[in-house]
Amino acid sequence: MSRGGSVRALTLSAAITLLGSLAGCGHADAPRALDEIRARGELRVVTLNLPTCYYFGAQGAEGLEFELVRAYAARLRVKLTINALANETAMQAELAAGRADIAAASLTDSPDWSRAGAAASPYARIPQLVVYQRGHVQPRETLQLESARLAVRAGSPQERILERMKRTVAPTLQWVETAPSSADPVEDVDSGNADYAISDAREFSFAHHLYPNVLVGFALPEERPAQWLVRHGGPDLLASVNAFFRELDASGTLARLVQQSSGDTRRFAYGESREFQAHVGDRLPRYRSWFEQAAAQAGIDWRLLAAIGYQESKWDPHAESDDGAAGVM
């Protein structure tokens, strides 16, 4: 090899070595999400005020997502700070801006969520139910949906499932979108504005108590994955979350917490009792607008507020609690 060729080879080798060293230094100096969380001593989580996620009961904070993030914060040995927001759009903004480390609300990855954060592996798969009004013919298969008035929330995981079904097994399938901020599609069925609606099984286990005349027809073939989203730029945090759920699953703790969360919805189950159904028909309409207004101000689901109110007072304006409070509570 000529002297010039040797010099060029040496220069190239030195450049590669230098670049490798610089890359190594950059990687070593790059902030790690877990180190940041431990340094501040706080895990910041955004969620939704829902009975399936997070709410305040008689004993304080409760809900499946609360139990999960509390266990994860304990694993990291840091304080847990939860910010309950009004909707997923607000959660995405907090996560994308780095003001939250984790979004936890039984979420499903989507293009909007992918822009905001990185999806952890699903920790559960939730059945998606076709629901109908009591007294009508029970739907039993997808073909029955193609000629019906079908309601689904716009932009929801349920709508994305229907879009995939339309492309593959039900080309003539049509549906009516309800706005994300509007009433539950289950209410459209209850009021007769829709023949069927698609409802998440966890959500319906709660909604059914307020709409006892809406029943389950059948479950769609595709289930919805439930997962957390973590902020971008934290692959170590994502790996840690995935390891956390693997361990919870292997130990049986995850199954226990999911089963316990079913009890959370059952505590709002006043049964199919004639008394409760009568109160849904005569008392709830009188106070519903108040529940909706207060829930909007607090950024929570009005149905959760109504359910807690029923627990406390059965929506009776003359009710009195043990500590002397009176009225609808």
Architecture of domain 128-222: 3-Layer(aba) Sandwich (3.40)
pLDDT of residue 80 exceeding 80? yes
The reported pLDDT for the residue numbered 327 is 61
Number of C-beta neighbours around residue 194 at 10 A: 23
Lowest mean pLDDT among 28-42, 90-104, 152-166: 28-42
Question: Average per-residue pLDDT in the chain?
Answer: 83
Active site residue 146: no
**Residue carrying the six token digits 């049964």:** 271
Q: Which of 36, 222, 292, 312 is catalytic?
A: 312
Are 51 and 63 in contact by the 8 Å Cβ rule? The answer is yes
| Paired tokens of 142 | 């997808």
Task: Report the top-level CATH class of 33-125+226-266.
Answer: alpha beta
Using CA atoms, how far apart are residues 152 and 187, in angstroms rounded to an integer? 11
Domain with CATH 3.40.190.10 in the chain: 33-125+226-266, 128-222
The reported pLDDT for the residue numbered 119 is 98
Question: Which amino acid type is present at position 239?
Answer: A
The reported pLDDT for the residue numbered 15 is 41
Q: Give the predicted TM-score (pTM) of the model.
A: 0.75
Instruction: Pick the closest to residue 103 from 7, 114, 329, 111 (CA basis).
Output: 114
Are 227 and 107 in contact by the 8 Å Cβ rule? The answer is yes
The percentage of the chain sitting over the pLDDT mark of 70, rounded to a whole number, equals 77
143-197 per-position pLDDT tens digit: 999 989 999 988 889 999 999 999 998 999 999 998 765 668 998 999 999 999 9
Q: Assign 31 a pLDDT band (cuts: 50, 70, 90).
A: low
pLDDT of residue 96 exceeding 60? yes
283-299 per-position pLDDT tens digit: 778 888 888 787 777 66
| Paired tokens of 118 | 């990185």
